[in-house]
Amino acid sequence: MIASVLYSSFKEYELFYTPEAFSATTPASDKVLERMKEGPVWVALQNETIVGTISAVSKSEGLYIQGMAVLPTARGQRIGWLLLKHVEEFAVKRGVKRLFLRTTPFLKRAIRLYERFGFHHTSEGPHDLFGTPLFTMEKILKTKD
């Protein structure tokens, strides 16, 4: 089901991706299961149906957010914000000081959400995903000292 949400969420942008980058962005179910071994995956439900997803992987640089998607029919309901908030709370409880993610410049709606949530652009690479432009955004978290 998560693979279906990813595919449905990014399908409208497929022409902006190289085929390899689109495949990496919308992995099949077996790849989603592999991701679930790397770190937690959360879903947003409406009427017992998955309408959004997000996952995170612990890295030396912080908590890496990947696979965030909200179905087009569920957009505009703050689901993306709530998913990000959940990941941030997860990170803060574990003493993580930095959240980061990678996105493409044509996902303007997602970028606006990330910026409103406190993420900012960095010069950190990689700068492409199989030939599709890519950039990194980060949010430095406040920790209790």
Give residue 142's pLDDT.
Answer: 84
What's the domain count of the chain? Answer: 1
pTM for this entry: 0.93
Alpha carbon 86 to its chain centroid, in Å, reads: 12
Is residue 75 included in any domain, yes or no? Answer: yes
Q: At residue 145, does pLDDT exceed 70? A: no
Mean of pLDDT over the chain: 95
Find tokens 């991706």 and name the residue.
17
Question: If we measure between CA atoms, which residue out of 26, 56, 60, 52 comes closest to residue 40?
Answer: 56
pLDDT in tens, 68-100: 999 999 999 999 999 999 999 999 999 999 999
- Residue 145 domain flag: no
- Say if residue 47's pLDDT is above 80: yes
Domain, as residue range, for 57: 2-140
CATH of the domain at 130: 3.40.630.30
pLDDT at position 35: 85
- Chain centroid offset of residue 25 CA: 10
Share of the chain above pLDDT 90, in %: 94
pLDDT for res 144:
63
Q: Which residues pair with 53 in a beta bridge?
A: 43, 69
**DSSP notation for the chain:** -HHHHHHHHHGGGGGGS-HHHHHHHS--HHHHHHHHHHS-EEEEEETTEEEEEEEEEEETTEEEEEEEEE-GGGTTSSHHHHHHHHHHHHHHHTT--EEEEEE-TT-HHHHHHHHHTT-EE-S-S--EETTEE-EEEEEEPP---
Residue 9 resides in a domain:
yes
